[in-house]
């Protein structure tokens, strides 16, 4: 049996305790999350284990401490991609 695709979206704003889950889903919902990200030029990071963990969390909840380090690296990557994208648009 084929494993269902999973996707989660996270958000972090300065002053928040930890990044929050803003969307999460499996199968069709995961496809919609990915489609929305692509349509809005949101960088997509693929990590099956992280997706498995994040999709178990409720939307609106903060990420657990055990994934702070990897999520911090992802957020730095996304920030770098946003900066690069902004430079190429101007």
- So what's the pLDDT on residue 1? 63
CATH number of the CATH domain containing 25: 3.40.1690.10
Q: Is 75 among the domain residues?
A: yes
Mean pLDDT for the chain overall: 91
Other Cβ atoms less than 10 A from the Cβ of 7: the count is 23
Q: How many helices (H) and strands (E) does the chain have?
A: 3, 2
User: Is residue 18 scored above 70 in pLDDT?
Assistant: yes
Eight-state DSSP code of residue 18: S
Q: Range of 80's domain?
A: 6-89
User: Is residue 13 scored above 80 in pLDDT?
Assistant: yes
């Amino acid at each position: 049996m084929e494993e269902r695709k999973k996707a989660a979206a996270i958000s972090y704003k300065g002053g928040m305790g930890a990044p929050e889950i803003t969307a999460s889903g499996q199968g069709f919902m995961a496809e919609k999350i990915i489609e929305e990200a692509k349509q809005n030029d949101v960088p997509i990071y693929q990590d099956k284990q992280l997706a498995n963990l994040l999709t178990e969390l409720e939307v609106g909840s903060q990420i657990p401490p055990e994934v702070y380090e990897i999520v911090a690296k992802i957020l730095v990557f996304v920030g770098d991609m946003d900066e690069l994208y902004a430079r190429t648009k101007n």
